[in-house]
Structure 1
Amino acid sequence: MKKDRYIYPAVFDYADDGISIFFPDLPGCFSCADTDEEAIYMAKEALGLHLYGMEEDGDDVPVPTTINKINLESHQVVVLVEVLMPIVREAVENFSVKKTLSIPQWLNKLAIDNNINFSQVLQSALKEHLGIRERH
């Protein structure tokens, strides 16, 4: 079941070359940073994208471990990271993807001469073709 808000513990692992970030409950969810501020930002981004992928794949999202159950080394700290999934979902779903297409040269020239925005025209045509009235 999709939730709108998740809070997971992240482990910030400090080393001479920066901060490594991992989530004990989410294997494969990693990031890194140079500063604490950047680490928090990167942790939120990694967590949001990882959970989004799990939701899309239909994976069970595990219950977060409580902070007092996480074993740390001397150069590690636990940071609680919160993500608001409606924001993540909207950002991912509205991310523009580049498409390569082919049109006749004469049509390309005519469109350029008329200052046509190819992306806008393609989006409008696809929405019309699919019967979409509003953004999905």
Structure 2
Amino acid sequence: MIPNIPPTQTWDALRNNPNAQMVDVRTEAEWAFVGVADLSEAGKQAVLIQWQVYPSMQRDRAFEDRLARAGFTPDHHLYFICRSGVRSLAAAEAARAAGFPHVFNVADGFEGPIDAHGHRGHAAGWKAEGLPWLQR
């Protein structure tokens, strides 16, 4: 089972563990229009590797190869994030099956669930927790 880690604990791990890294598995469109986690205070940046390729939303069959090409090894602690935590969980499971033992899912993702007004980013997730992010 892949552990679901709250965004604030993820942020702490990224700042305190040199082997911790965030892998953002959303689409290029999401990175461009919604924003990305700003990890500069931790001396890092999120590694952007799509789990599903926009616009077809088909799983990227080269996903595991892209993790390896990004320089990740079994020693890394990989924190996977997507919009709400569903795609990132699937990506973390694939990473574990590919030989990365220290994988985590960022609970509620970058934007979290839809709130009472039909919007994301306010009820839970990275943005709602007030963690650093930027528009690309």
Q: Which has the higher helix share?
A: 1
Give the TM-score range, shorter chain.
Answer: under 0.3
Q: Which has the higher contact order (CA 8 A, sep 6+)?
A: 2
Query: Which structure has the bigger radius of gyration?
Result: 1
| TM-score normalised over the length of structure 2 | 0.24
